[in-house]
Chains A and B, each alone.
Chain A
Amino acid sequence: MKNLVNKNNFPIFSGRFKKMVYLDSAATSQKPKEVIAAEKDWYENHNANIHRGAYKLAEEATELFENSRQKVADFISAPSAKSIVFTKGATESINLVAGAWARYNLKKGDTILLTEMEHHANIVPWQLLSKERGFKIKYWPISQAGELIMSNLDELFSGVKFLSLVHISNVLGTVNQIEKIISLAKKKGLVVLVDAAQSVVHLPINVVKMKADFLVFSAHKMLGPTGLGVLYIQPDLFNQMKPYQSGGEMISEVGFKSVKFKKVPWLLEAGTQPLAQVFALNKTIDYINKVGLKNIKEHSRSLTDYAYLKLSEIDGLTIHGPSAKKRLGLISFSTKIIHAHDLATLLDRKNIFIRAGHHCAMPLHEKLNVPATARISFGIYNTKEDVDKFIKELKSILKQWSQPIKKQF
């Protein structure tokens, strides 16, 4: 297994935490130096507010901002840059769809379909909205193996107007058969939102092929800056969008008693946008394209396969979710020998950073019937050696904790 990139291109790996084995990229990814430099470059060379100001610096800033919108559109194969709305993260993107689309385009009694493997960000906004507007929520069940149950879809989809589902589960690692699911849902006239927060950094996304109506992701999980997210809107739905937040930038004309709004995407971008971050996202996509998403996918695939194999060889350890080939980028597991939190603390002592808990998916953990799981997740900078170090320490901790208490210390 070859290393995909030089870890030293990510400054955090040569700084204070030189020795760390970072296995929490599903929470947030580390940043290549190009992205960090881009943010600095914005402030040093390009900073002015956009869509206003008739001077060179502001005009150039506007152009750079709109170029970045085009860059994002190309990245997910969206036919038009107008489909790209900048938000502060995948969470806000979902809240935006709830507040500016579902609120006005679903009727009382309509059913929203979510899956049992959703992140809280794709559950709670719908719960709140449904309470307010009288919508119903139904959950698409998952199998013991952690996959969506694909039988009886006619019954599942009946009465459903809107489906919101995750592409890659942040707990199970399951890669949902998104194209197949959306094409079936479309036959029943459902509008579909795809949460691509985990998938966007592991595999190429093509919104046209996928036929998503909405697709959301965060910049920070894809090697980019924090505080920035993306919402893709399918052009047929532009006219159904109402204002989300209101204020400057999103209007075309304001009188004391009247207001005219701009069109999508600007309608949905009230106030000054995170300009430096959008510029840095542009450079993030350049970086990803340079490495190549096809190579990234292969790298994630081989790390996932390798870690899965190594974990499955350990006695008394349960891996949650499907087999290696049906998942990508992450593995959650638990063991009766030690609680996930204690394990994370002990690995931390060895500079191995993993996630423990319910990973913002409490309903899923209820279904799995485990209070907490431990999770390892990969970024493009991870290596086979990282997995080996983790497995070695994991085995040594499990060995120590399996022994009777008196012998332990």
Chain B
Amino acid sequence: MEPTYKKTILRHYNNPSNKLDLKKPTKVFSGANPFCGDKLEIKVKLDGQKKITDVSWSGDGCVISQSSASIFTDMIKGKKLAQIQKMTSAKLLKELDINLSPARRKCALLPLYTIKETANEEEE
């Protein structure tokens, strides 16, 4: 099987989770990938404990960025925002489990950087 465009990735691309427009979000994050021009917006609803009770996202982009946004937003539901903002790139890449060149890693990591609000920087 094609190691980048595997079935789970394509399923998320064609049928993304949480690609909605959340009404009255607590917080809105915007990110962009300067390498390719992809843009992403993630909206979250937080409860009193700053836990993510609901999430939605919107944006256009390649298969990798779109499916990653779908998978990532599934991952973060029910977790504390502060905890998610500490998530490492490695953790998200492991969850995606696909073969990516360094340039395409940026596509995959766009949702994570968006919520970290450090869209242009990859941590070491």
CB distance from A375 to the nearest CB of B (A): 13
Residues of B within 8 A of A338 (CB): 63
Task: Assess the A356–B36 pair: CB atoms within 8 A.
Answer: yes
Chain A 344-357 interface 0/1 with B at a Cβ cutoff of 8 Å (1 = within): 01100000000011
B50 interface contact, C-beta 8 A? no
Do A357 and B104 touch (CB < 8 A)?
no
Q: Contact string, B18-49, partner A, CB cutoff 8 A, digits 1/0?
A: 00000000000000000111110000000000
Q: Is the CB of A405 within 8 A of B11?
A: yes
Docked complex Cα distance between A179 and B10 (Å):
50
Docked complex Cα distance between A356 and B63 (Å): 14
Contact indicator B38/A342 (Cβ below 8 Å): no
Once A339-B62, A339-B63, A345-B104 are accepted as A-B contacts, the answer to whether A371 and B38 lie under 8 Å apart by CB is: yes
Measured CA separation A345–B11 after assembly (Å): 19
Q: Once bound together, how far apart are the Cα atoms of A340 and B37, in whole Å?
A: 11
Chain A: number of interface residues, binned into ranges: 10 to 19
Nearest B residue (CB) for A338: B63
Q: B10 near A371 (CB under 8 angstroms)?
A: no
Contacts of A358 on B, CB cut-off 8 Å?
36-37
Q: How far is the CA of A339 from the CA of B64 in the complex (A)?
A: 10
Q: Is A409 an interface residue (CB 8 A)?
A: yes
| A-B pairs under 8 A by CB, number | 48
Q: Which of B1-9, B69-77, B115-123 is found at the contact surface with chain A?
A: B1-9
Q: Which of A281-336 contact B (CB under 8 A)?
A: none
Pick from A340, A341, A365, A408: contact of B104, CB under 8 Å: A341
User: Interface size for chain B: under 10, 10 to 19, 20 to 34, or 35 or more residues?
Assistant: 20 to 34
Q: Are A371 and B104 in contact (CB under 8 A)?
A: no
Q: Is the CB of B10 within 8 A of A357?
A: no
| CB-contact partner of A357 in B1, B5, B11, B36, under 8 A | B36
B14: CB under 8 A from chain A?
Answer: yes
List of A residues within 8 angstroms of B5 by Cβ: 342, 346, 409
Given the known interface contacts A405-B10, A408-B10, the answer about A341 and B36 at a Cβ–Cβ threshold of 8 Å is yes
> A356-B36, A371-B60 are known contacts. Are A341 and B10 too (CB-CB below 8 A)?
no
Question: Looking at the complex, which one of B6, B62, B101 makes contact with A342 (CB distance below 8 Å)?
Answer: B62
Nearest CB in chain A: distance from B93 CB, A: 16
Q: Does A372 contact B (CB under 8 A)?
A: yes
A362 lies within 8 A of chain B by Cβ: yes
Docked pose: A362 CA to B39 CA in angstroms? 13
Task: Using A339-B61, A341-B64, A342-B62 as known contacts, say yes or no to A372 and B4 having CB atoms under 8 A apart.
Answer: no
The answer, yes or no, to whether B107 is at the interface (CB within 8 Å) is yes
CA distance A398 to B108 in the complex (A): 22
The CA-CA distance from A341 to B63 in the complex, in Å, is 8
Separation in Å of the B120 CB from the closest CB of chain A? 14
With A341-B107, A405-B14, A409-B1 in contact, do A371 and B64 touch (Cβ < 8 Å)? Answer: no
> Contacts A357-B35, A358-B36: A341 and B62 contacting too (C-beta < 8 A)?
yes
Using Cβ atoms and an 8 Å threshold, which residues of chain B touch A365? 37
User: With contacts A365-B37, A372-B36, A372-B38 known, is A409 near B7, CB below 8 A?
Assistant: yes
Q: How far is it, in angstroms, between the C-alpha of A409 and the C-alpha of B6 when the chains are bound?
A: 8
Residue among B7, B36, B38 with max Cβ neighbours from chain A (10 Å): B36
Q: Give the complex CA separation of A358 and B2 in angstroms.
A: 26
Given contacts A357-B36, A371-B36, A408-B10, contact A342 B1 (CB under 8 A): no
Instruction: Enumerate B90-122 residues with CB–CB distance to A below 8 Å.
Output: 101, 104, 107
Q: Across the interface, which residues of B come within 8 angstroms of A356, CB to CB?
A: 36
A305 and B77 alpha carbons, distance in the complex (Å): 52
User: Roughly how many angstroms separate A342 CA and B11 CA in the complex, as a whole number?
Assistant: 15
A199-258 interface (Cβ within 8 A of B): none
Q: Within residues 375 to 409 of chain A, which ones have a CB less than 8 A from any CB in chain B? A: 405, 408-409
Contact with B along A96-134 (1 / 0, CB 8 A): 000000000000000000000000000000000000000
Q: How far is the CA of A340 from the CA of B102 in the complex (A)?
A: 17
Which chain A residues have a beta carbon within 8 Å of chain B's beta carbons? 338-342, 345-346, 356-358, 362, 365, 371-372, 405, 408-409
Q: Which residues of B contact A (CB under 8 A)?
A: 1-2, 4-7, 10-11, 14, 35-39, 60-64, 101, 104, 107
Pairs A–B under 8 Å by Cβ, sample size 24: A338-B63, A339-B61, A339-B62, A339-B63, A340-B36, A341-B62, A341-B64, A341-B107, A342-B62, A342-B63, A342-B64, A346-B5, A357-B35, A357-B36, A357-B37, A365-B37, A371-B37, A371-B38, A371-B39, A371-B60, A405-B10, A409-B5, A409-B6, A409-B10
State the 8 A-B residue pairs at the shortest beta-carbon distance, nearest first: A339-B62, A341-B62, A371-B37, A358-B37, A405-B14, A357-B36, A342-B63, A342-B62
